[in-house]
Amino acid sequence: MANNEASGSSNTADIDEGLYSRQLYVLGHDAMRRMANSDVLISGLSGLGVEIAKNVILGGVKSVTLHDEAVCTIQDLSSQFYLTEADIGKNRAEACCKQLSELNTYVPTKAYVGSLNEDFVKKFSVVVLTVSTRAEQLRIGELTHENNIALIVADTKGLFSQIFCDFGSSFTVVDVNGESPVSAMIADISSDVESIVTCIDDTRHGMEDGDYVTFSEVQGMTELNNCEPIKIKVLGPYTFSIGDTSKFSKYVRGGIVTQVKMPKQLQFKSFKDSLQNPEFVIVDYTKMDQMVQLHLAFTALHQFVEKNGRLPKPWNDEDAAEFVILAKALASNGDSNTEIDCDLLETFAKISSGDLNPMNATVGGIVAQEVMKACSGKFHPIYQWMYFDAIECLPKDKTEITEQLSAPKGTRYDGQIAVFGSEFQKKLAQLKYFVVGAGAIGCELLKNFAMMGIGTEGQVTVTDMDLIEKSNLNRQFLFRPHNVQQSKSATAAKVIKKMNPDINIVAHENRVGPETENVYNDDFFENLDGVANALDNVDARIYMDRRCVYYRKPLLESGTLGTKGNTQVVVPFLSESYSSSQDPPEKSIPICTLKNFPNAIEHTLQWARDMFEGLFKQNAENASQYLTDPDFIDRTLKLPGVQPLEVLESVKSALIDERPKDFDDCVAWARNHWQEQYSNQIRQLLFNFPPDQLTSTGQLFWSGPKRCPEPLTFDVNNPLHLDYVVAAANLKAAVYGIPSNRNRDYVARVVEKVKVPEFVPKSGVKIAETDSQLAMNGSNVDLDRVTQIKEELPSSEELGGLRLTPLEFEKDDDTNFHMDFIVAASNLRAANYKIPSADRHKSKLIAGKIIPAIATTTSVVAGLVCLELYKLARGIESLEPFKNGFVNLALPFFGFSEPIAAPKMEYSGNEWTLWDRFEVQGEMTLREFLEYFKEKHGLEITMLSQGVCMLYSFFMAKAKAQERFGLTMSEVVRRVSKKKLEPHVKALVFELCCNDANGEDVEVPYVKYNLC
């Protein structure tokens, strides 16, 4: 099998981390190397085949061969985005080979138009069959199974799809789920025949029954350290048993338990054997009964084609009846007593000639991930059959679609018309959609929109303020190397226009937010049919969600995290919005842990990031503001939540104490800073808290999550020590405009001449053990010291026009020393505390807060989103057909649920949801506004606000209230906010707190106050 042919130390060329960086965080280096040793054959270059090929090529296998004996027809243009009308009559594989090969220059891609004979097939590690006959599937299935070649059979027929996997009689899954191994710190281990491990109670151990673990740093019961993996039985969130330790030495303290990923062996049946005794992956638990029906349907379809030489005609009753008869005969000849679902099978037959881009995008992403699993052994494969359908995209009353409406029209949309009819195609054409973001999901959405014909009579608007970077190319498939540093949205629009010249697409380069509401104003939103988010941050998602709720527009939301993806459809007046439920905030690391008591590499990396921000950004910013703003110090002393002494110390440090004159001064500063951070501060910490220190309860201070550190001794011959000095010196030089010097030998020679002051521990130095102590220590301001620093600081004139450049952290530029500093600083800190170090790859992931990403998941979620768009375009008045989705391609897991209905609230007998509001037309004074709500709605307004501005409250000073009562509402807003109303603002939004007629506090909708 392909995944057993190459080990992680293969001789393949080094992986291009600049290109594959986001995917590497999903798959890892070993899996990527195994993929780079795998040759893949993809047979059938229809819409499904091109989706699979695109994702596999982007993934980085050794080579891809595209096989097809069919020629391009007009219907192929429904979803084959690399074919054009000029390609009609040409071989499909040859026609699209050039564009597919341009996706990734590391993956040789070629076309093959001959037959799939035995010798040819044996050249490949993985074979993918699409749009193949049953006879071909059986023949290739036997050949691949006998020769230990992975086989994937995939097909889409209208709104139905089928996937089959056979990875051989003995396939090793190296990593079932791809999650990082969890670890926990140990509080106790009992000596018993059924030993119980108790972890410290600051966090759950996160392990499951049957997991395997190993141990390190255990004191006392040292037999466990670096032991062979032990199977555990979970007893609770902080405890588990590990078997007999009664003969081990007695546990003393400490230790870390770490989960071990164990390989899993799978035995696949051949296609022929599995066809008769299928095992299914459940995709939608509401459709479990349909899997057997669809297994039968695809087999019956092969028989129909063999008999008639064609697929059933779209929505043709005679063909559908013949198809059902064939299915019934197959069922009666089988071993099972399957009850035939005639309605489902009729529908299957009537739309089986359809070819839908969203289905191909979804299934193409899933299949491509299975190819990668076969190549690498990473993640659990589909075992062995999977059926997915989106039949709820059809209207409940299927008589709306007739044979006449669905008959081929000789257009590129015939594959879609075959399923939904020509009238629905007109609806899609007239849509006006706003795609927010042109990154990975945005590229996929735009491609899907173009294939579906959305906006050919209406318009698609796309906006993205970012430029294309090299790391984007691995999954943002519309971009090529020559597009790097070009606009994402403009480039994407040009490429999409080539895929479908009919699409009306307009590209913007704006950020969505309050600052662009003059562009994305009332006229813009009111003209839209919907919004599709393709964003990478929660704040922007929440903002767009609020805009969609305000303008009552549908929102298609999606996101990915490695192999995980989610989709959400927000339906006006029916569903809750995106903002109705949010993930809990990310758990932050206590400051005192970062400063003095780290116990994990995540802590040292965050410490290094904070160090970078302080040394090379914040200090320079403070000094620059002091040099350019005469009132900077006085304003700083008045700012709430700011430690003025820290700010002034940083300015003094930047301008006097640590200001370099040349690069040698930068090296001397870096060497002394190394000494302070990794030797002196640790010595002071141990002076305050010696290794044998006891707490008031008699426990060792340095125990549990507190790891006892040790100071480091600088060694110029230690590469890590010199790495820090080289990086820190060059960053210091960059701040002050001093030329850089990358010569390590030169830096080493300068370092050896630097005089480092001898450290003497100080008594009376307070070191906080908790964040609350830290806050108390920082609450007192030494005003005398503040005055002293103010007097010592030189003026801008005295510094002769000095300019400092604050450095913005940039993780993806390997020449700027930013990551060099982070990696060295973090790993030195880790060495202080005996924490295992992290390589540059892992350090960049954590410190750069990189979101792992892979093209396969992006393809799947974009496809699922567009299936929901079909439903929105129909104008559905119920949530029942809609699906929110969550997928994890690694497991694989697929979960779908109906969107949650918008919660209903009530005031004074009136029911309302987040989609409701009070509409007030025309200007009125504040007094009139208050009286209007009392008379019309029976509500007494107790507080009235706009955003953060309080316009009126019952406890407001009487004089102030009287002053505002006679002003119009817009005048009140201008006076309180001290901002003028922009010309594009046609309405104001007010939030109310009200009492009803009984004087009870009630929750009410917001107010849309129309100015004209």
Pairing of the two strands 171-173 and 239-243: unpaired
> What range defines the domain where residue 226 resides?
183-260
- Average of pLDDT values for 93-107? 98
Of the candidates 990, 998, 1008, the residue with the CA atom closest to the CA atom of residue 907? 998
Q: Work out the pLDDT band at 767, boundaries 50, 70, 90.
A: confident
Q: What is the 8-class DSSP label of residue 482?
A: G
CB-based contacts of 229, cutoff 8 Å, min separation 6: 212, 213, 214, 260, 262
CB-based contacts of 764, cutoff 8 Å, min separation 6: none
- Coil, strand or helix at 287: helix
Of the candidate ranges 272-281, 325-334, 428-437, the one whose mean pLDDT is the lowest: 325-334
- Could you give the C-alpha distances from 435 to 477, 529, 549, 635, 720, in angstroms and in order? 17, 12, 16, 43, 46
Of the candidates 28, 80, 65, the residue with the CA atom closest to the CA atom of residue 261? 28
Instruction: Please check whether residues 164 and 191 belong to one and the same domain.
Output: no
Report the predicted TM-score, pTM, of the whole model to 2 decimal places.
0.94
Residue-level pLDDT at 334: 67
Instruction: Please check whether residues 603 and 751 belong to one and the same domain.
Output: yes
pLDDT in tens, 238-249: 999 999 999 999
Residue 921 in any domain: the answer is yes
Residue-level pLDDT at 641: 59
Q: Work out the pLDDT band at 632, boundaries 50, 70, 90.
A: confident
Give the C-alpha separation, 219 to 703, whole Å: 11
Residue pair 432/529 in contact (Cβ under 8 Å)? The answer is yes
**Peptide linkage before 892 cis (omega within 30 of 0):** yes
Tokens of 973: 């807003």
Q: Answer with the one of 334, 366, 388 that is the final residue of a domain.
A: 388
Residue pair 684/761 in contact (Cβ under 8 Å)? The answer is yes
Residue 958 in any domain: the answer is yes
Of the candidate ranges 576-590, 598-612, 614-628, the one whose mean pLDDT is the lowest: 576-590
Instruction: Please check whether residues 730 and 746 belong to one and the same domain.
Output: yes
Give the C-alpha separation, 127 to 140, whole Å: 9
Instruction: Please check whether residues 276 and 245 belong to one and the same domain.
Output: no
Of the candidate ranges 49-63, 483-497, 617-631, the one whose mean pLDDT is the lowest: 617-631
pLDDT at 814 over 70: yes
Residue pair 355/364 in contact (Cβ under 8 Å)? The answer is no
Residue-level pLDDT at 910: 95
Give the C-alpha separation, 149 to 129, whole Å: 13
Spacing of C-alpha 805 from chain mean position: 32
Residue 295 in any domain: the answer is no
Residue 246 in any domain: the answer is yes
Residue-level pLDDT at 10: 35
Residue 307 in any domain: the answer is no
pLDDT at 681 over 60: yes
What number of other Cβ atoms are within 10 A of residue 117's Cβ?
9
The residues facing 906 across adjacent strands are 911
CATH number at residue 238: 2.40.30.180
pLDDT at 3 over 70: no
Helix (H) or strand (E) holding 135: helix 134-146
Residue pair 975/967 in contact (Cβ under 8 Å)? The answer is yes
Backbone CA torsion sign across 102, 103, 104, 109: negative
Instruction: Please check whether residues 148 and 206 belong to one and the same domain.
Output: no
Instruction: Please check whether residues 273 and 364 belong to one and the same domain.
Output: yes
pLDDT in tens, 695-750: 988 889 999 899 999 999 999 999 999 999 999 999 999 999 999 999 999 999 99
CATH number at residue 119: 3.40.50.720
CB-based contacts of 657, cutoff 8 Å, min separation 6: none
Q: For residue 879, give the amino acid letter.
A: L
DSSP per-residue letters across 766-789: ---SSHHHHHHHTS---HHHHHHH
Q: First and final CA of the chain: distance in angstroms?
A: 71
Q: Work out the pLDDT band at 779, boundaries 50, 70, 90.
A: low
Residue 780 in any domain: the answer is no
Of the candidate ranges 195-204, 350-359, 422-431, 863-872, the one whose mean pLDDT is the lowest: 195-204
Q: For residue 301, give the amino acid letter.
A: L
Tokens of 359: 């289905």
- Average of pLDDT values for 853-878? 96
Give the C-alpha separation, 944 to 926, whole Å: 10
Per the structure, how many domains does the chain have? 5
Residue-level pLDDT at 785: 76
Q: Work out the pLDDT band at 1, boundaries 50, 70, 90.
A: very low
Residue-level pLDDT at 777: 61
Q: Work out the pLDDT band at 876, boundaries 50, 70, 90.
A: confident
Which residues are designated catalytic?
A: 592
Helix (H) or strand (E) holding 495: helix 488-499
CATH number at residue 740: 1.10.10.2660
- Average of pLDDT values for 855-861? 98
Higher pLDDT, 60 or 640: 60
Tokens of 258: 């770490």
Instruction: Please check whether residues 574 and 524 belong to one and the same domain.
Output: yes
Q: Answer with the one of 367, 388, 409 that is the final residue of a domain.
A: 388
Residue 962 exposure: Cα atoms within 13 Å on the Cβ side: 3
Helix (H) or strand (E) holding 292: helix 290-308
Residue-level pLDDT at 337: 63
Residue pair 872/554 in contact (Cβ under 8 Å)? The answer is yes
Instruction: Please check whether residues 602 and 686 belong to one and the same domain.
Output: yes
pLDDT in tens, 528-575: 999 999 999 999 999 999 999 999 999 999 999 999 999 999 999 999
Residue-level pLDDT at 776: 63
Instruction: Please check whether residues 90 and 226 belong to one and the same domain.
Output: no
Residue-level pLDDT at 142: 98
CATH number at residue 926: 3.10.290.60
Which letter, b or e, does each residue of 682-704 get, where b requires 16 or more Cβ atoms within 10 Å of its Cβ?
bebbbebbeeeeeeeeeeebbbb
pLDDT in tens, 894-920: 999 999 999 999 999 999 999 999 999
- Give the whole-number percent of the chain exceeding pLDDT 90: 86
pLDDT at 264 over 70: yes
- Coil, strand or helix at 745: helix
Instruction: Please check whether residues 122 and 224 belong to one and the same domain.
Output: no
Instruction: Please check whether residues 494 and 640 belong to one and the same domain.
Output: no
Give the C-alpha separation, 620 to 653, whole Å: 10
Residue 761 in any domain: the answer is yes
Residue 318 in any domain: the answer is no
Average pLDDT of the residues of the chain:
94
Instruction: Please check whether residues 508 and 437 belong to one and the same domain.
Output: yes
Q: Answer with the one of 260, 279, 309 that is the final residue of a domain.
A: 260
Q: What is the 8-class DSSP label of residue 794?
A: P
Q: Work out the pLDDT band at 5, boundaries 50, 70, 90.
A: very low
Give the C-alpha separation, 599 to 704, whole Å: 10
- Could you give the C-alpha distances from 456 to 425, 460, 508, 555, 863, in angstroms and in order? 10, 9, 18, 20, 19
Give the C-alpha separation, 917 to 549, whole Å: 11
Residue pair 883/283 in contact (Cβ under 8 Å)? The answer is no
CB-based contacts of 477, cutoff 8 Å, min separation 6: 54, 58, 103, 443, 444, 447, 855
pLDDT at 184 over 70: yes
Residue-level pLDDT at 339: 86
